[in-house]
Copies of this chain bind each other. A is one copy, B any other.
Amino acid sequence: MSTPPERVTIKDVAAAAGVSKGAVSLAFNHKPGVSEATRDRIFAAARQLGWAPNSSARSLSRNSVDTIGLAVCRPARLLGLEPFYMEFISGIESVLVERDCSLLLRLVGSLEEEIQLQQRWWRERQVGGSILVDFHQRDPRIAPLRKLGLPAVGVGHPDLTGGFPSLWTDDATAVAEAVRYLAALGHRRITRVGGPTGLGHSAIRADAFERTMRELGLNGGRHVETGFSGEEGARATRMLLLSSDRPTAIVYDNDIMAVAGLGVAAEMGVSVPDDLSLLAWDDSQLCRLTHPTLTAMSHDVHGFGAEAARVLFDVIAGKEVTSRPVSTPSLVPRGSTAPPRR
């Protein structure tokens, strides 16, 4: 596609510095074999000519790439609203910058499309490895991508990532904490508005929710399944508030739906937190902007992204890495939760 106008190569630099191109290569890679003085001359010449090593040529002869891939499979309209991803990406990049690497990002429409994409990326050696996110139950990506030999790290519970080294937040414990908190406030009818159950972490949270409710001797627990969008969160909330045995507390799977829930409560004249407690997940800044502010399960998404990148580099380097959890989300109480009005 591009046809650069001028092109200065290592040969030009070598000529300018009066050395061979081998010497330039040595100097630029900080390898021994060139004297201090020559090194300086080489760098001066390179700076003068505005030269930097052509990354294609470099990765061709080194047989390596300094790019990692991330494909995200959610509708763009949702993604934009999920503060999670940008935070996560910025965490990844904080690590990439240190190593002069880059992130290849792609939004895909389906898991099948992602499989195609990852295969291409890897076969064409466009990436050295990938970070895989949003695991489904019996995720179709696992078999083909493992067979491919793609170095990758999975973001999700090891039960879901099928053999890929993985990093995950202990959602089960977090859900339990959220439910126990609401129960301690006196809530008995608690509903969870979750993501699609096909999505692995939604299923895990759903399980943990039911288990905890049972442990607490509460049988008023219910789930509603949504697609994570604010609109669906709003619809679910509206439906719940209209039902005969309406919940006194709702736990949302992200913060957009919680904000939407708050909107619906206001619209229907249901007072939060007096008549209804709301608990959000992921705790972006949004949770502090509403009135009342939103109690939320909070975690360090930036750090999560960074850790994922670090682990991926280890995988690529061939190190033995073991799956492990990152820090568990913890409850940050704010204005949207209170004891139910008796």
What 1/0 mask marks residues of chain A from 13 to 50 whose CB sits below 8 Å from any chain B CB? 00000000000000000000000000000000000001
Task: Considering the complex, give the chain B residue whose CB is closest to the CB of A263.
Answer: B291
In the complex the two chains form, what is the Cα distance from A67 to B249 in whole Å?
48
| Band of interface residues on A | 35 or more
Q: Which residues of B contact A233 (CB under 8 A)?
A: 289
Q: Are B63 and A89 neighbours in the complex by a CB distance under 8 Å?
A: no
Q: Tell me which of B101, B119, B126, B263 contacts A102 (CB under 8 A).
A: B126
The smallest beta-carbon distance between A64 and chain B, in angstroms, is: 5
Q: Are A103 and B102 neighbours in the complex by a CB distance under 8 Å?
A: no
Q: Which residues of B contact A263 (CB under 8 A)?
A: 289-291, 293
What 1/0 mask marks residues of chain A from 146 to 158 whose CB sits below 8 Å from any chain B CB? 0011010000000
What 1/0 mask marks residues of chain A from 67 to 96 whose CB sits below 8 Å from any chain B CB? 100000000110111111111011101000
Q: Is A183 an interface residue (CB 8 A)?
A: no
In the complex the two chains form, what is the Cα distance from A123 to B51 in whole Å?
6
Q: Are B125 and A107 neighbours in the complex by a CB distance under 8 Å?
A: no
Q: Which residues of B contact A64 (CB under 8 A)?
A: 1-3
The smallest beta-carbon distance between A118 and chain B, in angstroms, is: 12
Q: Tell me which of B4, B6, B66, B231 contacts A125 (CB under 8 A).
A: B4
Q: Tell me which of B90, B124, B291, B317 contacts A267 (CB under 8 A).
A: B291
The smallest beta-carbon distance between A89 and chain B, in angstroms, is: 7
Q: Which residues of B contact A172 (CB under 8 A)?
A: none
Q: Is A311 an interface residue (CB 8 A)?
A: no
What 1/0 mask marks residues of chain A from 297 to 309 whose CB sits below 8 Å from any chain B CB? 0000010000000
In the complex the two chains form, what is the Cα distance from A266 to B290 in whole Å?
9
Q: Is A254 an interface residue (CB 8 A)?
A: no
Q: Tell me which of B50, B148, B231, B317 contacts A285 (CB under 8 A).
A: B231
Task: Considering the complex, give the chain B residue whose CB is closest to the CB of A301.
Answer: B80
Q: Is A206 an interface residue (CB 8 A)?
A: no
Q: Is A340 an interface residue (CB 8 A)?
A: no
Q: Which residues of B contact A267 (CB under 8 A)?
A: 291
Q: Are A289 and B256 neighbours in the complex by a CB distance under 8 Å?
A: yes
Q: Are B2 and A151 neighbours in the complex by a CB distance under 8 Å?
A: yes
Q: Tell me which of B57, B229, B290, B317 contacts A259 (CB under 8 A).
A: B290
Q: Is A288 an interface residue (CB 8 A)?
A: yes
Q: Is A244 an interface residue (CB 8 A)?
A: no
Beyond A86-B79, A104-B103, is A54–B2 a contact (Cβ under 8 Å)? no
Q: Which 4 A-B pairs have the closest CB atoms?
A: A76-B90, A80-B83, A80-B86, A2-B128
Report 28 cross-chain contacts, Cβ distance below 8 Å, ordered by A residue: A1-B65, A1-B101, A2-B125, A3-B63, A5-B149, A52-B119, A52-B120, A53-B124, A54-B125, A56-B56, A56-B59, A76-B89, A77-B87, A79-B90, A80-B82, A80-B84, A80-B87, A85-B86, A90-B107, A93-B106, A103-B106, A105-B105, A231-B289, A256-B289, A259-B259, A259-B290, A263-B289, A265-B291
Query: Interface of A with B (CB < 8 Å)?
Result: 1-7, 50-57, 59-60, 63-67, 76-77, 79-87, 89-91, 93, 99, 101-107, 119-120, 123-126, 128-129, 148-149, 151, 229-231, 233-234, 256, 259-260, 262-267, 284-286, 288-291, 293, 302, 313, 316-318
